[in-house]
Amino acid sequence: MEAYRDQYADLFRGGRGVTFIGISNDPPDDMASWAKDSEFPFLFASDSAGTTAHSYGTGLRANLMIDKRTVIVVDPEGRISHVMYPFREIDPTAYEELGEAVAAVAPPLNEDEGGEGG
């Protein structure tokens, strides 16, 4: 998650026109503490039973833990536009692909928000 935090401004436009939610099987209190301590600029949600992961087609282990990190890009109309399963978090090209997937569905930034020409 640190890589997402460290690249948040570029990948997710610093949250302008993009919502990023990290979903994990971790208990809510553990996630909240970790997110606060690590100063993550995005939201977290707990999926302790794995139902959200399962509904998006992410594999679950027998213990209901998510089997591989997955990144799902949802467009402004709520449709899944891109799935990266498994997400190759140690591969720099994965972040390039993610940035392109987000840019393809994110509303354009106006000049006041750091878009081109500003």
**pLDDT one-digit tens code per residue, 42-76:** 888 888 777 887 787 777 777 777 777 788 888 88
* Pick from 40, 41, 66: nearest CA to 55: 66
Is residue 117 one of the residues assigned to a domain? no
Is residue 112 one of the residues assigned to a domain? no
CATH number at residue 15: 3.40.30.10
Q: How far apart are CA 52 and CA 21, in angstroms?
A: 12
Does this model's pTM top 0.85?
no
The domain in which residue 50 lies consists of 2-106
Number of domains comprising the chain: 1
Q: Could you give the percent of the chain with pLDDT greater than 70?
A: 92
Q: How far apart are CA 85 and CA 112, in angstroms?
A: 35
Backbone angles phi, psi at 80, to 5 degrees: -70, 120
